[in-house]
Each structure stands twice: as structure tokens, then as C-alpha cells.
């Protein structure tokens, strides 16, 4: 299973390198359904993977001068607080609830990947920083990250562009700093617990397997293979049409989201529908409504606005600052 997980992590990393975002959201399902981690262990490990991958991407963007450090540190600091609190809360919640919430995050990310994003026009001068909004948004996005273990880059990028007035290449680059900060904070939120015999201690429920082993050997292998795969993907990205690949992978992520959600609530829905004709009609109607909603979201026209979210990109190779989204040969790897 570890060998299979390593191979799949390499594939996920390569997909991230080719797509420029979203692929690492499959890390948690990989750890749950292939390796056998429970939900909390998988989210803890996934946050570590996301954080490390973001740091690798940040290096190239920093060398190219695209990172706005002041904005990123303000947003990231607020995000760290929210992510740590989210991790502390998530460590106390049932695993099934966490996986259900994670599947919703996967669905949102998948829709963003399928829809894509039009190039945002220039923003013009931006007067001052709305610190309260930046801190509030940072706290909220960080809380989501800490709870479900997803980097939330598709939320960070538009927030940086809207609130900070950053051009998209700078927002994409700065988001990596934010995602790395809050992912590390979310990781420690899950990995540490307070109270008991000592003020702070390791939360064995999130970092220790049921057989007494540690999550670290598998986590480090997955992290290393994902980074290697991302580098490989970034080198061959120019040979594959990115829009087509992004949509195909987005549909795959959406199918995985439906699968995970059905695993968590499918039994409950079936039991409810079995109670009578009215209950069955309600369940069928609810499913149709959800499908119709996602279909409408996916098919509606994309406006020339950053309100249409997409995952930020990670460039693992240094490139010219003027090259669009900060990618090499038209694309680059990301975290989640």
C-alpha cells in the first residue's frame, strides 16, 4: 500500500504540475482509501504535504520578485490563527463529518477547475489596505483550511486581488506564502493538544496509527513523491493542452467528491428514503437539485472578474516575472 501510495502521489504531483492547481486536494482521499489512515490522520498529513509543496513553489516566485511580502504576512498571520483554531476543532469532530466537509471542498475546487478563469484586466491604483477585511477573510479562510485540510488557494487568490489590489500574477505568488503559513498552522492545530498532564502535548489520535506506528514515514514519502511529480509535470506542461487537461481532471475530482460524500452520508440517505414514498421523493428531489445547481454553476458564462475562482499556480522553476501567471511554459504546479 505504501508503494502504491508513493506511485499515486507521483501521479498527483505530476497532475498538479500539468494543471497548475487543485491536484493536491486528492492527497487526503489517497491517505484514507489507499493507505488506510483515518480522517483526522489523513487531514493532518495532508496539511503537512500542502505546506511543504507551497514552500517549494514560493521559492521560485520569490526569486522572480512576484511575492508581496507585507500583504502575504498580514493575510497569512490571520490565516494561521484561523487554521490553528480550525485544527483544534477538527481534532474533536467525528471523522465522517470531516470527510463530508472535505468532499464539499473538493466539489467547489472541481467546479473552479472545470470552469477555468479568464484573464483579469488591470485593477488600477489601489488606495490603502482594508486591514479589518484582510484579517477577517484570513481568519475565515484559515478556519476552513484547518478544519478540512485543504489549502484553500482558490479562496486566497481572489481575496488578495480584491482586498489588496494585487495583479493576478502577484496574487498567485503571494497566495503560496499564505497557504504555506496557514497549512503549517492547521497541521500543528491537529498535531498538538492542550490540557491533561501537561500544558501542551502531541495529539496521538492524529499522528499515531491504530497499530502504534507513526504517520510520518508515509507522509514524508508522499510529500517527496508529490514534489518530484510536480517538477516532472512542470517540465512537460507545454506538451499537453492545459485547458482540456484541467477540465478532465476537474471532472475526476468532482466524481471523487461525490464518491466520498456518498460514503459518508449514503447509508443515512438510504435509510431515510426507505421510510416511505414521500421520503424517497424528497431524497431524489434533493439529489436532482444538487446536480442541477452544479450544472448551472459549471455552465454559466465566465465573467471577466476574479470572482470566478481558480487554484493558484506554483512554479517550481524560476522564470521571467512578466510571463503571465508566473508559470514555466504555460503552467506550473500547486498545492491544493
Q: Which of 46, 12, 312 has its CA nearest to residue 183?
A: 46
Phi-psi region of 117 (alpha: psi -120 to 50; beta: other; left: phi over 0): beta
CA angle 329, 297, 153 (to 5 degrees): 45
CB 315, CB 62: distance < 8 Å:
no
pLDDT at position 322: 42
| Mean pLDDT of all residues in 313-321 | 44
Please say if the pLDDT value at position 73 is more than 90.
Answer: yes
Please say if the pLDDT value at position 335 is more than 50.
Answer: no
More confident call, 40 vs 325: 40
Share of the chain above pLDDT 90, in %: 12
pLDDT at position 309: 42
Burial track 90-125 (b if 16+ CB lie within 10 A, e otherwise): bbeeebeebbbbbbebbbbbbbbbbbebeebeeeee
What pLDDT digit, counting tens, does each position of 157-198 carry? 777 877 777 887 788 788 888 888 998 999 999 999 887 777
| Mean pLDDT of all residues in 196-214 | 83
pLDDT at position 201: 85
| Mean pLDDT of all residues in 40-56 | 87
Please say if the pLDDT value at position 327 is more than 60.
Answer: no
What pLDDT digit, counting tens, does each position of 124-136 carry? 444 556 778 888 8
Please say if the pLDDT value at position 259 is more than 50.
Answer: yes
pLDDT at position 138: 84
* Spatial separation of the C-alpha atoms in residues 221 and 243, rounded to whole Å: 30
| Mean pLDDT of all residues in 112-119 | 64
Q: Which of 213, 173, 166, 185 has its CA nearest to residue 79?
A: 185
Q: How sure is the predictor about 80, in pLDDT bands with cuts at 50, 70 and 90?
A: very high
Instruction: Round the average pLDDT of the chain to a whole number and report it.
Output: 76
Amino acid at each position: 500500500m505504501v508503494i502504491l501510495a508513493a506511485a499515486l502521489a507521483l501521479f498527483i504531483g505530476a497532475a498538479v504540475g500539468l494543471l497548475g492547481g487543485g491536484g493536491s486536494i486528492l492527497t487526503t482521499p489517497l491517505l484514507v482509501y489507499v493507505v488506510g489512515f483515518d480522517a483526522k490522520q489523513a487531514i493532518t498529513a495532508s496539511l503537512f504535504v500542502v505546506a511543504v509543496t507551497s514552500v517549494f513553489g514560493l521559492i521560485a516566485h520569490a526569486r522572480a520578485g512576484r511575492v508581496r511580502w507585507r500583504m502575504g504576512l498580514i493575510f497569512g498571520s490571520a490565516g494561521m490563527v484561523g487554521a490553528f483554531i480550525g485544527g483544534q476543532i477538527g481534532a474533536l469532530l467525528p471523522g465522517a463529518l470531516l470527510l463530508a466537509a472535505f468532499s464539499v471542498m473538493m466539489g467547489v475546487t472541481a467546479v473552479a477547475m472545470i470552469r477555468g478563469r479568464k484573464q483579469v484586466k488591470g485593477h488600477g491604483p489601489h488606495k490603502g489596505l482594508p486591514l479589518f477585511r484582510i484579517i477577517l477573510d484570513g481568519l475565515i479562510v484559515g478556519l476552513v483550511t484547518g478544519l478540512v485540510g485543504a489549502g484553500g488557494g482558490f479562496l486566497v487568490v481572489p481575496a488578495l486581488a480584491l482586498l489588496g489590489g494585487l495583479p493576478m500574477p502577484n496574487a498567485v505568488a503571494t497566495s503560496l506564502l499564505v497557504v504555506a503559513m496557514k497549512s503549517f498552522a492547521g497541521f500543528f492545530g491537529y498535531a498538538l493538544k492542550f490540557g491533561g498532564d501537561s500544558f501542551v502535548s502531541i495529539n496521538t489520535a492524529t499522528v499515531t496509527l491504530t497499530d502504534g506506528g507513526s504517520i510520518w514515514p508515509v507522509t514524508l514519502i508522499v510529500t517527496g513523491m508529490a514534489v518530484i511529480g510536480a517538477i516532472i509535470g512542470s517540465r512537460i506542461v507545454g506538451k499537453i493542452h492545459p485547458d482540456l487537461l484541467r477540465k478532465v481532471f476537474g471532472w475526476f475530482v468532482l466524481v471523487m467528491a461525490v464518491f466520498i460524500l456518498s460514503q459518508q452520508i449514503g447509508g443515512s440517505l438510504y435509510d431515510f428514503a426507505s421510510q416511505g414514498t414521500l421520503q424517497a421523493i424528497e431524497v431524489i428531489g434533493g439529489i436532482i437539485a444538487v446536480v442541477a445547481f452544479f450544472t448551472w454553476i459549471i455552465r454559466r458564462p465566465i465573467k471577466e472578474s476574479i470572482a470566478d475562482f481558480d487554484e493558484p499556480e506554483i512554479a517550481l522553476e524560476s522564470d521571467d516575472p512578466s510571463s503571465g501567471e508566473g508559470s514555466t511554459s504555460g503552467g506550473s504546479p500547486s498545492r491544493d
